[in-house]
Each structure stands twice: as structure tokens, then as C-alpha cells.
């Protein structure tokens, strides 16, 4: 996509928000963001975005397959500029992977993949000392990211961080809502099964649930699955567990 703004343009933060609102999915937004980032970099550059989730680093977007492959070298070897950026929040620059004394395992493999220079920058959380993730920038030429490029990318990363954090929060909230719907669906079918057992056994709800739980253990089935089986047997059709929506 062609960007109507640049990293130094006052409209850049608004443009990022517009990019988030104009894309259908979180994955599409991140892909467009990496593509937009590459356009602001020297020729031969590539871009990836890494976040730490569940104590593990993972690439959530990349401008190309080579970026993803080089990111994975860092994860596999357990060393590299991106991992140090995630752990310490600093900026790390490799002018030439063929001569860099740090992270030798990573640099040796990155050089073999044709990557000569690397720049890792934190994506800082607004109003916090923490970071939401890191930018991994690679180039096939040595010393590709001069002082001017690094200055522009620091501003770029600062503006992008808030949008990435917002996108992650939206994604997490969507996951929470899905989990909630699944929980309510399970609760609904279990309640239906309890009602059936109460009618058949002429017992209380507590005793009906105890019978259901004991039967699930004896048959090595989840309570929800056994409850669905009971409702299906009595009602003649399977309960719809996937489209349950809570009442407004």
C-alpha cells in the first residue's frame, strides 16, 4: 500500500490508527505495518515485529520469509540483538554480521542467509518503562542503518508501539469474549442436563450435579460432553454449543 505520510509527518500517529481501523484482522494490520516500515528504510531492508508472550519470544509479523527465518535463528540459538532488546529494552545495532563479536552463533547463521546489518529497537509502552515488543530490522548490506535512519526509526517505533499495544489488547479481549461464550455455552448445556436428571431421579439440583459428575468420571468424559449427550438423547438433537450468545 502507498503511505500518504512519512515517519516525520505530524499525521503519522493518526495514520497508524487509520491503518489499524482500515484492516480487517490483527494479522493484516501487522503485515501492512511491516510493509510500511520497510518503505521508510534503506534499500535492501526487511522488518519483523517480535513480542514476548508466555515468557517466549515470537514473531507476530514480518515483511518477508527471510526475516522470519533470521528471527527464528535468534530464538533457536537463544541469542541475538532482538532478544537483548526484549529483555533490556535497549537499542542494538550490528554493522556487519561477518565481523560482529557479540552473538556469534546468531551472526554466523544470519551472515550465511545474506543478512549483513541488523537493528533492533524496543516498542515502548506509552507512559511506562516497559515495552510491548521489538522491531527487528535487517539489511543485506553492511552498516545499512546510519545515524539518520536510526533516529527516524526510533520515532517510528515510538509511534507504532501504542498502535501495536492497542491491537494486542483488542486481540486479547476478543479471546476473552470467545472464552466467555464457550464457558456460558457449557454452563447452559450442563444446566439442561441437570434439569433432565432432576426430573428423572426426582432429586435436588445439587444431587443431580453430583450424579452427573460421578457418571462423567466413571465414563472418563468431560461433564460438558456427558451433559450434551444427555440433552441429545432426550431432546433428539445436539445442543448448539458454538453459537451461544449471552443475553444483552
Same domain, 150 and 188: no
Same domain, 80 and 188: no
The candidate with the shortest Cα–Cα distance to 16, out of 7, 24, 25, is: 7
Same domain, 54 and 141: yes
Same domain, 167 and 190: no
Write down the mean pLDDT value for the chain: 80
**Total of domains in the chain:** 2
Comparing 37 with 95, the larger pLDDT belongs to 95
pLDDT at 109: 96
List beta partners, residue 135: 49, 121
Question: For residue 107, is it within any domain?
Answer: yes
Question: Cell 532488546 belongs to which residue?
Answer: 85
Question: For residue 88, is it within any domain?
Answer: yes
Same domain, 144 and 187: no
Same domain, 58 and 154: yes
Q: What's the whole-number mean pLDDT along residues 16-34?
A: 69
Question: For residue 6, is it within any domain?
Answer: no
Domain CATH code at residue 24 = 3.30.450.40
Same domain, 130 and 220: no
Question: For residue 243, is it within any domain?
Answer: no
Q: What's the whole-number mean pLDDT along residues 22-31?
A: 70
Q: What's the whole-number mean pLDDT along residues 19-28?
A: 66
Same domain, 60 and 92: yes
pLDDT tier at 173 (50, 70, 90 boundaries)?
low
User: Which of 156, 174, 192 lies at the terminal end of a domain, its last residue?
Assistant: 174
Same domain, 143 and 200: no
Same domain, 170 and 54: yes
pLDDT digits (tens, 9 = 90+) for 90-143: 999 999 999 999 999 999 999 999 999 999 998 877 655 678 788 899 999 999
List beta partners, residue 52: 57
pLDDT digits (tens, 9 = 90+) for 180-199: 566 667 778 888 888 999 99
Same domain, 187 and 168: no
pLDDT at 185: 72
Is the pTM above the cut of 0.75?
no
Question: For residue 4, is it within any domain?
Answer: no
Same domain, 198 and 131: no
The candidate with the shortest Cα–Cα distance to 165, out of 120, 130, 194, 137, is: 130
Residue 49, all three cell numbers: 515485529
pLDDT for 210 beyond 70: yes
User: Which residue range forms the structural domain that includes residue 192?
Assistant: 181-235
CB 66 within 8 A of CB 115: yes
pLDDT at 161: 72
Amino acid at each position: 500500500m502507498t503511505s500518504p505520510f512519512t515517519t516525520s509527518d505530524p499525521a503519522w500517529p493518526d495514520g497508524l490508527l487509520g491503518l489499524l481501523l482500515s484492516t480487517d484482522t490483527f494479522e493484516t494490520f501487522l503485515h501492512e505495518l511491516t510493509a510500511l516500515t520497510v518503505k521508510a528504510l534503506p534499500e535492501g531492508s526487511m522488518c519483523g515485529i517480535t513480542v514476548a508472550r508466555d515468557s517466549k519470544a515470537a514473531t507476530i509479523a514480518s515483511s518477508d520469509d527471510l526475516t522470519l527465518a533470521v528471527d527464528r535463528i535468534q530464538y533457536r540459538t537463544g541469542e541475538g540483538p532482538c532478544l537483548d532488546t526484549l529483555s533490556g529494552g535497549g537499542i542494538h545495532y550490528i554493522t556487519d554480521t561477518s565481523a560482529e563479536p557479540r552473538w556469534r552463533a546468531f551472526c554466523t547463521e544470519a551472515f550465511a542467509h545474506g543478512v549483513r546489518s541488523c537493528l533492533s529497537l524496543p516498542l515502548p509502552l506509552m507512559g511506562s518503562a516497559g515495552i510491548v515488543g521489538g522491531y527487528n530490522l535487517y539489511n543485506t548490506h553492511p552498516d545499512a542503518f546510519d545515524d539518520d535512519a536510526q533516529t527516524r526509526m526510533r520515532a517510528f517505533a515510538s509511534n507504532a508501539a501504542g498502535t501495536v499495544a492497542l491491537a494486542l489488547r483488542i486481540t486479547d479481549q476478543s479471546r476473552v469474549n470467545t472464552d466467555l461464550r464457550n464457558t456460558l455455552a457449557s454452563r447452559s448445556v450442563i444446566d439442561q442436563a441437570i434439569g433432565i436428571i432432576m426430573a428423572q431421579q426426582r432429586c435436588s439440583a445439587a444431587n443431580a450435579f453430583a450424579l452427573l459428575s460421578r457418571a462423567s468420571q466413571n465414563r472418563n468424559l468431560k461433564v460438558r460432553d456427558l451433559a450434551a449427550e444427555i440433552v441429545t438423547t432426550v431432546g433428539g438433537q445436539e445442543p448448539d454449543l458454538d453459537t451461544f450468545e449471552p443475553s444483552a
